[in-house]
Amino acid sequence: MRVRKKRHGSERLAALSDLIYTIPAEGGRKDPKTEFANDSEVIMEVGCGKGDFIRELSMREPSKNFLAVERIGDVALVAMEKYAVSRNLGRLGYNGGWMDENGILHPTGEKYEISPEKRGNVRFVIGDAADIVASLPDGSLSGIIANFSDPWTRKNKYAKRRLTTPQFLGEYMRVLADGASFSFKTDDEELFDYTLEMLGEAGYQITFKTRDLHSSERAGNNIITEYERNFMEKGVSIKMLEAVPQKEKR
């Protein structure tokens, strides 16, 4: 994803740092529930982009908690600011300061203290999906979602960066609770076929699959992501699958 560098990017991140989930230092593990105001189940989206999907899902599912993972800081910043606005926590103010919901301007670089209750049910992870997944305890997530992750198709030497490599799928299986599912959407036929094959080899059972999501029975409930909207406008059909790890068979 190409992103124009944001003015006052690091100060704007600092202002909303109460919404950021910190990955423990290398080798450390942290139960993600400890970051939320309640101990409800936690679902993780990897590669959340500007966060339209997670904002909508977290509103639809207020009793669940969500981790939104994005490795590009300026992209995560957009997602965080849109989320903060949607939760009535204020808006971006003058020179990168944050204007809180009471109209008080927190000057550039100053943290806006947000109580755990007001933070809502999403926390943003700015970093690589591999690092957050490695830091999670076994069985600590009730779902993992990857929407329109980078396909790395024409650059085969980069295929190991895909979010559905055997390494990732093995780690997802470790951190998913029993019966929890991995959900995946893409425009890319090659990435879809690759992912289906890797899931089979990794011991997942495919519980839902379509090569034309918008004509399927899931169309009505589907949350359209930023990339999905772009592909729809170009007439590209969207592929989707859900898969559940078959842990006992391994």
Segment 1 to 30, residues that bind ligand SAM, using CB under 6 A: 1
CA distance 17 to 110: 10
Q: Identify which range of 13-21, 101-109, 142-150, 199-207 contacts ligand SAM by CB under 6 A.
A: 142-150
CA distance 7 to 95: 8
CA distance 238 to 223: 12
The answer to whether the CB of 85 falls within 8 A of the CB of 122 is: no
Q: Which of 147, 181, 186, 210 binds ligand SAM (CB under 6 A)?
A: 147
Q: Identify which range of 36-44, 108-116, 143-151, 190-198 contacts ligand SAM by CB under 6 A.
A: 143-151
The answer to whether the CB of 133 falls within 8 A of the CB of 175 is: yes
Residue placing its CB nearer to ligand SAM in the complex, 51 or 90: 51
What is the rounded (10 degree) CA torsion for 111, 113, 117, 120? -20
Q: Identify which range of 18-26, 42-50, 111-119, 190-198 contacts ligand SAM by CB under 6 A.
A: 42-50
Residues 6+ apart with CB under 8 A from 103: none
Residue closest to 222 by CA, chosen among 206, 237, 234: 237
> Of 18, 150, 187, 193, which is the active-site residue?
150
3-state DSSP assignment of residue 88: coil
The answer to whether the CB of 232 falls within 8 A of the CB of 185 is: no
Where is 15: in which H helix or E strand? helix 9-15
SS3 letters for 78-111? HHHHHHHHHCCCCEECHHHCEECCCCCEECCCCC
Give min distance, CB of 75 to ligand SAM, in A.
Answer: 5
Give min distance, CB of 13 to ligand SAM, in A.
Answer: 15
Give min distance, CB of 225 to ligand SAM, in A.
Answer: 3
Give min distance, CB of 227 to ligand SAM, in A.
Answer: 3
Active-site residue, 18 included: no
# binding residues, ligand SAM (CB under 6 A): 21
Residue closest to 245 by CA, chosen among 200, 211, 208, 210: 200
**Going residue by residue from 210 to 249, which x/- string records binding to ligand SAM, judged by CB under 6 A?**
---------------xxxx---------------------
With binding defined as CB under 6 A, does residue 47 bind ligand SAM?
yes
Residue placing its CB nearer to ligand SAM in the complex, 98 or 168: 168
Q: Which of 15, 44, 68, 69 binds ligand SAM (CB under 6 A)?
A: 69
AA letter at 96: G
Binding site for ligand SAM (CB under 6 A): 1, 46-49, 69-72, 75, 128-129, 147-150, 163, 225-228
Residues designated catalytic: 150
